[in-house]
Amino acid sequence: MAIKTANFIDPFDSAQERGVAGVFGMWVFIAVVAMIFVACILGYVVVRFDQPPGREWMPEGTPGLPSALLLSSAVLLISSWTMQLAVRAARLGQQMQLVYAMGATLGLALLFLAVQALAWNELWTRHATIESGLYAWTFYVLTGVHALHVIGGLPPMVYVFRRSREGQYTPTDYNGVVLCAMYWHALDVIWMVLYATLWICSAL
């Protein structure tokens, strides 16, 4: 039976049912995001290996991938670990650990974006601008699209962090933490595939 309040009728009978529906919806959303990146990566690979005769993918003097990408990748991996610590803390009812883990994940997300900005600046200052060729242009587009999805994940993360500080999550109702973690882990996997593609295509 639906739960009724003065202003809202909850279509779910329990937090568990709400959680199942939320997880299903998040999987659908992640699938859509994944398809966007699959299309972007496939397009990048086609452009990389379908260069017309006489056109170089990386003209002489063009710098390789920024070294800062290694650091940003490490930061993102660590943030995925701290996010999983947050899920575990919520499941066990460890409120302070949940707050610390969510705060750490939020801080690492901001650090990831800062390091990505350093990577872009590293290329730009070495004259690898959007106008310099497809190599630089596709790099900025692919990493920029991922960064936009990271930025899009910040408001929900801040919301979950705030609710964590207020003690709103319990071992039987921590759906928000789970959904936030699902999205963040997906961005982590997508970035690793994206980075590997950029590295391989720039090395060949």
Buried b (16+ CB within 10 A) or exposed e, 26-56: beeebeebeeebeebbeebeeebeeeeeeee
pLDDT value of position 1: 42
N-term to C-term CA, the chain: 60
Looking at the predicted structure, is the pLDDT value of residue 178 above 90?
Answer: yes
169: alpha, beta or left, given left = phi > 0 and alpha = psi -120 to 50?
beta
Q: Residue holding tokens 């997906």?
A: 186
Q: How confident is the model at residue 11 (pLDDT cuts 50, 70, 90)?
A: low
Q: Residue holding tokens 């980075």?
A: 195
Looking at the predicted structure, is the pLDDT value of residue 106 above 90?
Answer: yes
Residues in the chain: 204
| For the chain, percent of residues with pLDDT exceeding 90 | 64
Looking at the predicted structure, is the pLDDT value of residue 131 above 90?
Answer: no
pLDDT value of position 2: 47
Q: How confident is the model at residue 61 (pLDDT cuts 50, 70, 90)?
A: low
Looking at the predicted structure, is the pLDDT value of residue 130 above 50?
Answer: yes
d(CA 144, CA 155): 18
User: Any residues with CB less than 8 A from the CB of 99 and at least 6 apart, and which?
Assistant: 161, 164, 165
pLDDT value of position 186: 97
All structural domains of the chain, each given as residue ranges with its CATH number in brackets, are: 23-51+63-203 (1.20.120.80)
HSE-CB at 13 with a 13 A cutoff on CA atoms is: 1
Section 182-202 average pLDDT: 94
Section 67-86 average pLDDT: 96
Tens-place pLDDT, residues 146-173:
999 999 999 999 999 999 999 999 999 8
| For the chain, percent of residues with pLDDT exceeding 70 | 86
Which of 33-42, 57-66, 188-197 has the lowest average pLDDT?
A: 57-66
d(CA 149, CA 51): 29
Section 130-134 average pLDDT: 76
Section 117-138 average pLDDT: 83
CA 91 to chain centre: 23
